């Protein structure tokens, strides 16, 4: 009996890979308007977002963000966050997505590949964004809840970051019969090296300095879509998707796939 055909997948990080900036700040700003956070909380989130853009990821800053966010989420319901998240994700899609990265995502979809978003962002948000871009699904951080759907001040799963991100993708691949050697992964940060090293086709998108140097040393493709303001809702965004993303896809990505 012939063995079951294995799937090919593309795994996309969210912050600075698919979405411009840190989604934690964008989410905190939205929750602030719904009385989840105080002004001091939003100022803290803004500062962390700025440091992320300037200096890249830092484990200590990430831990501070997580602990502060858990305190704010405690006592609120999942249904409440999902309702807020729907508007939040629409804003991200209209204003904050990198057109070039979206073009790459669309190319994978056109080739029949599974597309997964993998991020430390809460699962409720990654799931909504995955639906918005038409991805197969998402892997995000899960916050613990009571039986009736109220958030607790603790995580149900490890933070979807670093090694945890790679372990989750490896488990998903086993469950869905995904061939990781034939699959792709996209990220901006060296913290994603465990995931990038797991697949046959790692790609650095808008990379921080450490990931850029690693990618160069290992011959990984690099794409940078940060030049200029290119959001999907503008007329120029559709053109930039071909200039920044489409040309890169045609010359770097598609030539790696076998002809049918």
Sheet of strand 137-141, all strands in order from the earlier edge strand to the far edge: 137-141, 114-122, 9-12, 184-187, 201-205, 222-223
DSSP annotation of 221 reads -
Q: Are 22 and 61 a contacting pair, CB within 8 Å?
A: no
Q: Annotated catalytic, 147?
A: no
Q: Is 85 helix (H, G, I), strand (E, B) or coil?
A: helix
Q: Is 201 helix (H, G, I), strand (E, B) or coil?
A: strand
Q: Are 23 and 125 a contacting pair, CB within 8 Å?
A: yes
Q: Output the DSSP codes for 86-105.
A: HHHHHHHHHHTB-HHHHHHH
Q: Annotated catalytic, 13?
A: yes
Q: Are 30 and 125 a contacting pair, CB within 8 Å?
A: no
Catalytic residue among 15, 35, 41, 179: 15
Alpha-helical runs (H) found in the chain: 23-32, 39-55, 59-73, 78-95, 99-110, 123-133, 163-176, 193-196, 209-218, 235-240, 247-248
Residue with the two structure tokens 């808008």? 206
**Catalytically active residues, by annotation:** 13, 15
């Amino acid at each position: 009996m012939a063995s079951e055909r294995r799937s090919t997948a593309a795994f996309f990080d969210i912050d600075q890979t698919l979405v411009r900036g840190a989604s934690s700040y964008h989410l905190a700003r939205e929750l602030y308007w719904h009385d989840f956070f105080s002004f001091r909380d939003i100022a803290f989130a803004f500062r962390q977002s700025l440091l992320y853009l300037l200096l890249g990821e830092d484990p200590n800053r990430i831990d501070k963000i997580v602990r502060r966010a858990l305190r704010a989420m405690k006592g609120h319901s999942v249904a409440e966050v999902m309702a807020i998240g729907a508007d939040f994700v629409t804003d991200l899609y209209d204003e904050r997505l990198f057109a070039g990265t979206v073009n790459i995502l669309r190319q994978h979809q056109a080739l029949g590949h599974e597309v997964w978003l993998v991020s430390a962002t809460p699962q409720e948000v990654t799931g909504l964004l995955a639906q918005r871009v038409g991805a197969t699904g998402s892997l995000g951080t899960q916050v613990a809840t009571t039986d009736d759907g109220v958030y607790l001040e603790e995580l149900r799963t490890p933070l979807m970051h670093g090694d945890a991100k790679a372990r989750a993708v490896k488990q998903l691949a086993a469950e869905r019969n995904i061939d990781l050697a034939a699959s792709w992964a996209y990220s901006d940060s060296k913290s994603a090296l465990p995931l990038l090293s797991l697949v046959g086709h790692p790609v650095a998108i808008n990379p921080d300095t450490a990931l850029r140097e690693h990618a160069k040393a290992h011959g990984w493709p690099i794409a940078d879509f940060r030049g200029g303001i290119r959001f999907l809702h503008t007329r120029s965004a559709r053109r930039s998707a071909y200039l920044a993303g489409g040309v890169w896809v045609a010359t770097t990505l598609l030539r790696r796939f076998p002809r049918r």
